[in-house]
Structure 1
Amino acid sequence: MSVLIAIASAHNTTTSIGQRIATRLATHIPGPVVVRAIAEIPADGVSPYSAVIVGSAIHMASWLSPARKFITHQRTALSERPVWAFSVGVPGTEEYAAKETEKIEAEVRKSVPALRGHTLFRGRVEREQLPWPVALFFKWFPKGSQFGDFVDWEEVDKWADKVGEEMKKETEETR
């Protein structure tokens, strides 16, 4: 089994999470696990892989444009293989995180109806990453938002292990 982890990252947190997922998947499945920026994936770039994970940072409650375009343009290729997705953002409250996760998953499913799973990981946000007007109001929207690194690597590992076990099981069943 070969896996493509296609990433749309704004400040490298999503890339770091994608690389961590790749490392964990490699312990579960035979074959290569490749992490690539979506902008570097050619039009037929999904075809060599038997499974795909798409990850994107969230800005303004939506995936980054390259990720949205990728799943739209690769709709046919993605429908022919198992696909998982993850988002990286800094939701302020659990309620907001749940709503954001649901909204993004619904958007992804428009292009990838058979999506195997989606999760939202907390990311990192620093004041200097945001335009000054946004940074000024950031701590009030959504309620409880703060600057800092909120990546829960144990949560990332747990999700990657779950996906890796699903891939391993599928590989064994097709033998």
Structure 2
Amino acid sequence: MTILITYSTAHNTTALLAKRISARLTTILPPSQHVEILPITSIPTTCAAGIIPYSAIILGSAIHMGSWLHPAKKFISQHQSELGEKPVWAFSVGVPATEEMAREEEKKVEGEIRRHVPELKGHRLFKGKIERNDLPWVVRTWFRWFPGEAKFGDFVEWEEVEKWADGVGEELKGVLEGGK
């Protein structure tokens, strides 16, 4: 059996988290379970064959302007019936300014995902990283005018990512063995 981790990224942080989640899962799951990582854009949205072979799916996307990236939103919209037949988890990567904003954003994004994947097993928003040069010039200029608002840097909390991945791995063992 194979688990798919598929992601949509803007500046590679989501891909890095997908790789770390994969590494954790391979240490938890039995050797008969394989984990495959693919960019979401490499899976056709026009046919279900792209995700049929997988036993479970973990979806990930960066968050821009409070929402998943377009390829991820298109993927869950186009594959919602196939996703409804498999255990699915999701993670998001963003840099909200405050913890309260992070909770609100996590709840909002999870609601958007559940519109297409009502049986979603779980969703988690992880802090990402943002560099000044990752932003369009207009946004960089805005941050210069309001320097207190700008938070640049690497905010990824790898321990949190690993803890979540370990929990998903334990759930997967139960789900794939028919226990849940």
> What range describes the TM-score normalised by the shorter chain of this pair?
over 0.9
Equivalent residue, structure 1, for 2:51: 46
Whether 1:78 aligns to 2:83 is yes
Whether 1:98 aligns to 2:100 is no
* Cα contact 1:138–1:146 (8 A) shared by 2: no
Q: Distance in 2 between matches of 1:96 and 1:63?
A: 16
Alpha-carbon offset, residue 140 of structure 1: 8.4
* TM-score of the two chains, using structure 1 as the length reference: 0.94
CA RMSD of aligned residues (A): 1.8
Equivalent residue, structure 2, for 1:4: 4
What is the number of equivalent residue pairs in this alignment?
Answer: 174
Equivalent residue, structure 2, for 1:65: 70
Deviation string 1:21-66 (CA, Å, 9 cap, x unpaired) is 0010111223110110011013321101010000000111110000
* Structure 1 pair 168–126 and aligned structure 2 pair: CA distance change class (3 A): same
Q: Distance in 1 between matches of 2:144 and 2:163?
A: 29
Alpha-carbon offset, residue 172 of structure 1: 3.0
Equivalent residue, structure 1, for 2:25: 25
* TM-score of the two chains, using structure 2 as the length reference: 0.91
* Cα contact 1:91–1:145 (8 A) shared by 2: no
* Larger CA deviation: 52-61 vs 28-37: 28-37
Equivalent residue, structure 2, for 1:37: 39
Alpha-carbon offset, residue 96 of structure 1: 0.3
Q: Distance in 1 between matches of 2:149 and 2:28?
A: 37
Identity of counterpart residues, as a percentage?
55
**What are the ranges of 5 or more consecutive residues in structure 1 without an aligned counterpart?**
none
Give the letter for the 2:8 counterpart. A
* Cα contact 1:4–1:36 (8 A) shared by 2: yes
Alpha-carbon offset, residue 86 of structure 1: 0.4
Give the letter for the 1:69 counterpart. K
Give the letter for the 1:119 counterpart. R
**What are the ranges of 5 or more consecutive residues in structure 2 without an aligned counterpart?**
none
